[in-house]
């Protein structure tokens, strides 16, 4: 993202943005949230939001970046310059957008560490160990072996820290030496392989006994399962997965050439990102239901991919090899996203503190190590720490959940409100629409304008109120 010369082709832009968007959000976060929040109803809510909210914000952020050629702080500052009182204060939106990736990157690296561990876990254990009928002990209790294996790993003290640091280091080295281009090139080959592999696993899962119930759970919305939390969770997921409300798409937009068609680029990112998430759900959820019933799906948590996928790999010949390949590919998808997070932070720190890139990397690494290590320990020696204990609804959240919740369900909606106010009240909806449209026909212009002017702010306010625990 530090490529000052900008993207040299439209496809270069789309691939870089898609590389940032497609990551753990699609493969780790989306399936477990879908399982937990009622399957089909969550999927439906998510799709509606992507096509309205997500789309509008994605377009808006890219346009803001392209109009100013700046990152979020600079762009907000430029538009708000000279404006008085309220409109002038909208500029803090740039800061909110910039702080979010700093909160996300430490725990992103923690989960990246889990993926790294599972590459080794798949290599070093006979895959039969994870078979759905095998049992192992965790804390003295017998349970499904793959669950016990995961729990034993995350609740140990040093191992997860080691893998977290390993994952972080790989990404920092790539960012520090500026070899992202190489990684992107790799990804051009590996992403399609990952998608093909996911499709193949989906087909295999379709033949599992009881898979029908799983497909029904995933694809048939059950209105009885709908609640405020469905929307809050889907909204948070949308921000996370599309990499919006955190300055990333503004920064990407800044590197986009004027002559490139913004609308079709955004369409491609949206379709790609949502497609991969949909497929990941189609791969995992029928298996959870087939192996453990709907109850297992509803009690899903952050460990879902790590618990269910090994069980799937244990269920067919050659699964060991597929398991290793799967986690390596996920690791790559995670790395491109982590690198884009790092790049954004480094860019912000460099510009705002006026320090060298090396110092900015150092500062960011220190921050990641401290917050990441505390997050890891939240599952072991710090497991008594429940940061949101004082809000009854969230009293059980551990540190990772809390960071995830604060960034996705609190700060990102606030950031998105600022972006919307910037678009509607400061820049002006007509002016930005003209920039986006160029001289082409833009079919979804009314969706964009309607969302920006009418829907986004009230809905986000409701989401925020709900997040505070005051509603629902």
- Asked if 240 interacts with ligand PHE (CB under 6 A), we say yes
19 in contact with ligand PHE (CB under 6 A): no
The helix (H) or strand (E) run that includes residue 32 is helix 30-36
Nearest distance from C-beta of residue 26 to ligand PHE, angstroms: 5
Alpha helices in 378-471 (DSSP H): 399-405, 412-421, 429-437, 445-450, 456-467
As a whole number of angstroms, the distance between CA 191 and CA 188 comes to 6
What the block records as the tokens of 355 is: 């320090």
In this chain, which of 16, 21, 103, 256 binds ligand PHE, going by CB under 6 A? Answer: 21
Partnered with residue 141 across adjacent β-strands are: 138
Report CA 451 to chain centroid distance, whole Å. 22
Q: Which stretch binds ligand PHE (CB under 6 A): 89-97, 240-248, 282-290, 435-443?
A: 240-248
Among 20, 146, 345, 466, binds ligand PHE (CB under 6 A): 20
Torsion of the alpha carbons at 20, 22, 25 and 31, rounded to the nearest 10: 180
Q: Does 248 bind ligand PHE (CB under 6 A)?
A: yes
Does 243 bind ligand PHE (CB under 6 A)? Our answer is: yes
To the nearest whole angstrom, how small is the minimum distance from the Cβ of residue 405 to ligand PHE? 15
Minimal distance in Å, beta carbon 96 to ligand PHE?
14
Least distance to ligand PHE from the beta carbon of 37, Å? 17
Asked if 246 is part of the footprint of ligand PHE (rule: CB under 6 A), the reply reads: yes
Q: Are 183 and 335 in contact (CB under 8 A)?
A: yes
Q: 80 or 96, CB closer to ligand PHE? A: 96
Positive or negative: CA dihedral 463, 467, 468, 472: positive
Phi, psi values for residue 407, rounded to 5°: -75, -50
- The answer to whether residue 23 forms part of the interface with ligand PHE (CB under 6 A) is yes
Residues in contact with 92: Cβ distance below 8 Å, sequence separation at least 6, in sequence order? 76, 418
Q: How many angstroms separate the CA atoms of 55 and 422, rounded? A: 17
Would you count residue 110 as binding ligand PHE (CB under 6 A)?
A: no
Out of 98, 241, 274, 433, point to the residue binding ligand PHE (CB under 6 A): 241
Q: Which of 1, 7, 26, 313 binds ligand PHE (CB under 6 A)?
A: 26
φ and ψ of 144, to 5 deg: -55, 135
Residues 190 and 329: beta-carbon distance below 8 Å: yes
Shortest distance, CB of residue 58 to ligand PHE, whole angstroms?
12
Binding-site size for ligand PHE (CB under 6 A) equals 16
CA angle 50–54–56, rounded 5-degree value: 125
Cβ-count burial 359-395 (b if 16+ within 10 Å, e if not):
ebbbbbbebbbebbbbbbbbbeebeeebbbeeeeebe
| Interface stretch with ligand PHE, choices 37-45, 238-246, 285-293, 417-425 (CB under 6 A) | 238-246
Complex with ligand PHE: residue 335 or 376, whichever CB lies closer: 335
Is 279 near ligand PHE (CB under 6 A)? Answer: no
Residues 60-99, one symbol each (x = binds ligand PHE by CB under 6 A, - = not), give ----------------------------------------
Mapping DSSP to helix (H, G, I), strand (E, B) and coil, where does residue 353 land? helix
Residue 137, SS3 per DSSP: strand
- Give the span between the Cα atoms of 105 and 339, in whole angstroms: 9
Regarding 311 and contact with ligand PHE (CB under 6 A), the answer is no
Q: Which is nearer to ligand PHE, 336 or 433 (CB)?
A: 336
Q: Does 274 bind ligand PHE (CB under 6 A)?
A: no
Look at residues 76, 383, 48, 449 and name the one whose alpha carbon lies nearest to residue 235.
48
Query: In the range 325-344, which residues lie near ligand PHE by CB under 6 A?
Result: 337, 340-341
| Strand positions, DSSP E, 83-218 | 135-138, 141-144
Q: How far is the CB of 470 from ligand PHE (least distance, A)?
A: 28
Binding segment for ligand PHE (CB under 6 A), chosen from 21-29, 83-91, 198-206, 384-392, is: 21-29
Closest distance between ligand PHE and the C-beta of residue 328, in Å?
17
For binding to ligand PHE (CB under 6 A), which residues are involved? 20-21, 23-26, 101, 104, 240-241, 243, 246, 248, 337, 340-341
């Amino acid at each position: 993202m530090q490529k000052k010369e900008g993207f040299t082709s439209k496809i270069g832009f789309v691939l870089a943005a898609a590389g940032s968007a497609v990551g753990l959000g699609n493969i780790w976060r989306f399936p477990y949230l879908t399982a937990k929040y009622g399957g089909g109803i969550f999927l439906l809510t998510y799709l509606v939001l992507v096509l309205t909210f997500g789309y509008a914000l994605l377009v808006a952020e890219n346009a803001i970046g392209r109009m100013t050629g700046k990152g979020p702080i600079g762009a907000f500052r430029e538009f708000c310059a000279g404006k008085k009182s309220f409109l002038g204060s909208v500029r803090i939106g740039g800061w909110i957008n910039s702080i979010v990736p700093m909160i996300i990157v430490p725990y992103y690296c923690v989960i990246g560490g889990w993926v790294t561990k599972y590459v080794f876990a798949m290599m070093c254990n006979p895959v039969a160990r994870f078979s759905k009928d095998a049992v192992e002990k965790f804390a003295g209790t017998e349970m499904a072996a793959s669950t016990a294996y995961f729990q034993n790993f995350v609740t140990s003290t040093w191992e997860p820290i080691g893998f977290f640091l390993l994952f972080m280091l790989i990404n920092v080295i790539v960012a520090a030496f500026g070899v992202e281009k190489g990684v992107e090139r790799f990804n051009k080959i590996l992403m399609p392989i990952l998608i093909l592999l996911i499709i193949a696993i989906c087909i295999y899962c379709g033949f599992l006994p009881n898979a029908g119930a799983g497909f029904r759970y995933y694809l048939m919305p059950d209105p009885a399962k709908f609640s405020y939390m469905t929307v809050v969770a889907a909204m948070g997921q949308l921000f996370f997965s599309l990499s919006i409300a955190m300055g990333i798409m503004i920064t990407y937009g800044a590197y986009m050439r004027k002559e490139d068609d913004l609308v079709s680029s955004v369409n491609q990112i949206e379709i790609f990102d949502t497609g991969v998430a949909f497929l990941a759900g189609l791969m995992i959820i029928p298996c959870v239901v087939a192996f453990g019933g709907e109850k297992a799906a509803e009690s899903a948590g952050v460990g879902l991919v790590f618990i269910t996928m090994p069980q799937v790999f244990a269920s067919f010949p050659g699964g060991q090899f597929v398991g290793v390949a799967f986690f390596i590919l996920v690791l790559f998808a995670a790395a491109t996203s982590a690198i884009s997070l790092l790049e954004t932070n480094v860019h912000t720190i460099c510009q705002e503190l006026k320090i060298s890139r090396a110092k900015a990397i150092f500062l960011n690494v220190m921050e990641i190590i401290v917050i990441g290590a505390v997050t890891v320990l939240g599952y072991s020696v710090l497991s008594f720490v429940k940061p949101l204990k004082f809000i009854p609804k969230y009293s059980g959240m551990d540190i990772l959940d809390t960071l995830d919740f604060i960034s996705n369900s609190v700060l990102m909606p606030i950031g998105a409100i600022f972006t919307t106010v910037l678009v509607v009240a400061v820049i002006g909806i007509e002016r930005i629409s003209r920039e986006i449209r160029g001289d082409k026909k833009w079919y979804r212009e009314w969706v964009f304008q309607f969302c920006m002017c009418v829907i986004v702010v009230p809905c986000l306010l409701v989401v925020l109120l709900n997040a505070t625990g005051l509603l629902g």
